[in-house]
Structure 1
Amino acid sequence: MAAVALATGLVAVSAGGCSGGPSVASGGPGPSDSTDSAVPGATSAVTPLEPLPTAATAALAPYYAQRPTWQPCDGGFECTTFRVPMDYDRPGDGDLTLSAARAAVEAAGSGDPRVGSLLLNPGGPGGSAIEYLEAVARTYDRAVRARYDLVGLDPRGVGRSNPVSCLSGDRMDAFTSADLAPGDQRAIDALVAADKEFAEGCRKQAGPVLGHLSTVEAARDMDVLRALLGDERLNFVGKSYGTFLGATYAGLFPSRVGRVVLDGAMDPALDSVTGNRTQAGGFETAWAAFAKDCAKREDCPFGRTEQQVGEQLTALLAAVHANPLRSSDHGRRLTGSQATTGVVQALYAEFLWPELRTALSDAKAGDGTGLLKLSDAYYGREADGSYPNMMFANAAVNCLDLPAPFRSPEDVQRAVPDFERASPHFGRDIAWMALTCAYWPVRATGAAHTIRAAGAAPIVVVGTTRDPATPYDWARSLAGQLESGRLLTYDGDGHTAYGRRSTCVDGAVNRFLLTGEAPEQDRRCDS
């Protein structure tokens, strides 16, 4: 994996979601930087995110009074743009133009009234909500589509909303193959150089906007769009990092919370070290589930017990680290870091497990093509060697939302044993992956905090027990922080649950969206 803290895959039709760290915007509500300087990333005091005033200031009123024009766009959708201040504390310093798309209400003949708009966010940070809307809008329950306009808003810095760019395709290839198991000073220096090149590329190409891509600012943008859509309250379905975005909105604007679903929840109270380490444990849990299943399969290349499968993965990754494998992709070779990324990508969804078994079998025979394909899917690499904006935005938001987990390679080296205890297979790579933010060109504006959202309508938090990217304990924690949180548990595998595999989860969430009736607290689903 590339060295981007808390970067995973993207929630889309095919796979899971990325997750990022919590945020409190500079000058906005919430705590000041309370990080203990003696322990990088450790939070000595976690305070609540405080709500904003309900009335817009005179300086912000013009943004709330815009009249955006919706125009037909590809796929039968409607698209628009609108303005937001780059800096909410200094709205006179310039604007950003954000893009949104919607799928209008589908008539069902039932006579049930339209509820309003339902904003969707697939995660990331860095996932395009517009692309997600285009992919999933028609898969939503027909009754939901008959009551809501489904809306995708690309957050600032993402997709079609002032997208951040950092590296060319060939330099991104080098970044994604950087050695995340450096065994000597030369390898450490090469990794640091790759991290610095990435950060400097973002600084040069993004400019001043790089300091204004926090989750708090993105949540405030959603409130502007809510008003422009004519909704008194925000209705929202967020997955993975989208849960943090939605929870942040609830913390800032609790009286404007409508029907909000947070699926694959993040825990905003975690500092960046703890978040990365516990996420590594989530991938280890998911690997154990895969290994147990693999051992029962005729095509499993790694033995007939869960222990044998795990031991042979360790041996394979070590071998690929020492000697990268050939592939059929234009002479590219699979590095150890890319092999780990390929495995991680496949843990997001059970339907990718057969592909992973085949890729591991091929790698064992000396062909890295399958794992390289999975690694490329993680980063969104195109066949022509180009990369989308996703991972650039991912780093930009994560490095702004929380202080860097590590300040130096020495910090990482001290932390690796703890990461490896949490995840023997992935902990080391994830620890080194988190070094990028140490060299970020703008100071973090956020800190770990809790979100209470006092007075908000019921908020449904969905957690999957063996979720690789957003461990189940994160959902339990967020639901416990939210004054009106309702925890809905899916006992299963993969990243996120709604709209993917469980008729029980889908039924409970759809009922909530249609009637406002939240599931009872701690309801569990196993199908």
Structure 2
Amino acid sequence: MRAAALYTAAGSLLLTGLAATPAGGAPAAPGGLELRGTAVAAQRAAAAGIRFGSCPEEEALPSSLQCGTVTVPLDYAHPGGKQIKLTVSRIRATGQDARNAKHKVPRQGALVHNPGGPGASGMYFPLAGRLPEWQRLAAAYDLVGYAPRGVDPSAPLSCEDPERLLKGPTQSPTYPSASYKKERIARAQAYARGCARRAGSALRHYTSLNNARDLDVLRAALGERKLTFLGSSYGTYFGAVYATLFPSHVRRMVFDAAVNPAPGQIWYQNNLDQSAAFEDRWADFRAWIARHDRTYGLGDTGDEVRRGYEKARARLAAEPAGGKVGPAQLQAAFLQAGYYDDRWPQRALALSAYLKGDPKPLIEQAGPDPETAAEEENGKAVYTAVECNDAPWPTDWSVWDRDNTALARVAPFETWDNVWTNLPCAYWPAPRQQPLDVRTRPGALPPTLILAAERDAATPYEGALELHRRLSDSVLVTERDAGSHGIAGGPNTCVNAYLDAYLLEGRLPVRRASCAPHPQPKPKPKPTTPDDRSPSGKAARHTS
């Protein structure tokens, strides 16, 4: 699936944590060598701590952030073997620095965040404390972000030359021909080979299960006896794996935009469900544009807007905008509108301007960016490695072709692009694992909070319901009739009140609660500088 995030941060599709077993074998019980290896690594990390100081200059992070590293084993079955370093960022709790004593807030420890992916970095997360919605939490908690294993600068993984991402424009047929499918199969096979060639024997160790183990080592290195964690999108999946493996190490956990953790969903079925859900979200976006026809002039019905979009696709296929933007780039940009409705005004404006003869807004929003190519390639590599390693995938192309041809008849917007993103998993050279059965018994885990938007396409709502069923004593808060991917700390004050009450006071509703949707965005009649180039808002591909 795709990238997800905290309200302003992008992530990716979510993956399942698995037991260390080759495809076809019985899943290993969560324990044994890896569990002992995690305890050894955590003990070492607790003794060493984290030496926070200035962040690496090449990371271009603000001076207000402190950075350090945590050492973890590449292979937890051999904790004395090869080690890798995870880079961590932090801003200390601001409540300790208040000049007026009566405004001081007791520090509650570290709040660790993962924004999703797999392949997304949380290094910028501590800066959320500057936003009004996060200031109460920033007063009580050290805000901690990190780059998971494989994500630059934490032992970065690469599968191809980043320059390939700048080669465009590219096609993206809604109903691909047999010859186009054959071409994409060859590209998927070559990509899988590139991952194996560049990563070598380390490739198999990029998994959700290892991400959960790394999280426990990070907890220990921070000096926290128990973990307080906010996971968004994919972060909810390996957060749930963590809760299953280390329930006694949990203090409080928030699962924002939950991935469906059922073993049979990981990851092939989750991607099919995601493609179906994006069709509904695409309809939501078109309906919004139609309601603002006086601003955009794209038609006063969703069908008229769709015809305008298809007209743009056809025109870009014949003559790419600025020599940079073809149908694939258009689709990638409009997919972001399916993730976040705050993108709607910009995308609608770009489409309107393009059809009226001005391609500049579309080129600005959808064109390739050399400055982010290396970051995007790294994120794609980690996404692919984790998803492919995590679970069995169909290895027969006819299965993919059958399932997605049928789905594309009713959900054409995203189906085939989702296939091309994940198809390397059909030809993956590393051993596959079996997904962990995420589940906790009553009383084993402290109460946890699940947040979900009812019309989220990247992580469909059924995933939140399934996670709620599997985590005993969890509470689900739903934003009704809304579809932004990741709602913690966003524009919904009702959602944020539940978030603050839980993280600051440990208070939760009984079992479920709901909030009215946040207001839809207002149309923008004039071009604005696109905000999609920031590390937290780029048009990332297929992540949760």
Same fold, TM-score > 0.5, yes or no = yes
Show the counterpart of 1:460: 449
Show the counterpart of 2:298: 302
User: Does residue 476 of structure 1 match 2:471?
Assistant: no
Show the counterpart of 1:138: 130
User: Does residue 96 of structure 1 match 2:87?
Assistant: no
Which of 484, 489, 506 matches 1:494? 484
Cα drift, residue 126 of structure 1: 0.9
Q: How many residues are treated as equivalent by the alignment?
A: 498
Cα drift, residue 22 of structure 1: 0.9
Show the counterpart of 1:407: 395
- C-alpha contact (below 8 Å) 2:7/2:488 kept by paired residues: no
Structure 2 counterparts to residues 134-173 of structure 1, below 5 A: 134=127, 136-139=128-131, 141-173=134-166
User: Distance in 2 between the 1:501 and 1:341 partners?
Assistant: 25
- Give 5+ residue unaligned stretches, structure 1: 1-5, 36-44
| 2:291 aligned counterpart, secondary structure | coil
| 2:71 aligned counterpart, secondary structure | strand
Post-superposition Cα deviations, 1:252-287, rounded to whole Å, max 9, x if no partner, equal 101111111111110111143321111112211211
Show the counterpart of 2:17: 23
TM-score, normalising length from structure 2? 0.83
The one-letter amino acid paired with 2:433 is: T
The one-letter amino acid paired with 2:48 is: Q
Show the counterpart of 1:261: 254
Structure 2 counterparts to residues 231-380 of structure 1, below 5 A: 231-269=224-262, 270-297=265-292, 298-314=294-310, 316-317=312-313, 319=314, 323-328=317-322, 331-334=323-326, 336-365=327-356, 370-371=361-362, 373-375=364-366
Cα distance, 1:176–1:487 mapped onto 2, change above 3 Å: farther
User: Distance in 2 between the 1:176 and 1:192 partners?
Assistant: 19
| 2:342 aligned counterpart, secondary structure | helix
TM-score, normalising length from structure 1? 0.86
Which of 360, 368, 379 matches 1:390? 379
Post-superposition Cα deviations, 1:339-397, rounded to whole Å, max 9, x if no partner, equal 222211122222211111122224435766545544458xxx44585544222211121
User: Distance in 2 between the 1:442 and 1:385 partners?
Assistant: 26
User: Does residue 433 of structure 1 match 2:421?
Assistant: yes
How large is the RMSD of aligned CA atoms in angstroms? 3.0
Cα distance, 1:234–1:123 mapped onto 2, change above 3 Å: same
Cα drift, residue 411 of structure 1: 2.5
More helix by share: 2
| 1:461 aligned counterpart, secondary structure | strand
Post-superposition Cα deviations, 1:140-175, rounded to whole Å, max 9, x if no partner, equal 532212211111121110122111122223322349
User: Distance in 1 between the 2:207 and 2:344 partners?
Assistant: 34
User: Does residue 230 of structure 1 match 2:219?
Assistant: no
Show the counterpart of 1:72: 54
Cα distance, 1:57–1:425 mapped onto 2, change above 3 Å: closer
Show the counterpart of 1:42: none
Cα distance, 1:111–1:341 mapped onto 2, change above 3 Å: closer
The one-letter amino acid paired with 1:483 is: S
- C-alpha contact (below 8 Å) 1:462/1:488 kept by paired residues: yes
Post-superposition Cα deviations, 1:492-517, rounded to whole Å, max 9, x if no partner, equal 23111111110000011011110111
The one-letter amino acid paired with 2:456 is: D
Cα drift, residue 238 of structure 1: 1.1
Cα drift, residue 461 of structure 1: 0.5
The one-letter amino acid paired with 1:26 is: A
| 2:386 aligned counterpart, secondary structure | helix
| 1:487 aligned counterpart, secondary structure | strand
Cα distance, 1:400–1:486 mapped onto 2, change above 3 Å: same
Cα drift, residue 476 of structure 1: 1.3
Percent of residue pairs bearing the same amino acid type = 30
Cα distance, 1:244–1:431 mapped onto 2, change above 3 Å: same
| 2:54 aligned counterpart, secondary structure | strand
User: Does residue 204 of structure 1 match 2:197?
Assistant: yes
User: Distance in 2 between the 1:475 and 1:376 partners?
Assistant: 34
Cα drift, residue 412 of structure 1: 2.3
| 1:98 aligned counterpart, secondary structure | strand
Which of 398, 404, 408 matches 1:420? 408
Which of 482, 485, 497 matches 1:507? 497
User: Does residue 119 of structure 1 match 2:112?
Assistant: yes
The one-letter amino acid paired with 1:197 is: A
Cα distance, 1:46–1:85 mapped onto 2, change above 3 Å: closer
Cα drift, residue 196 of structure 1: 2.6
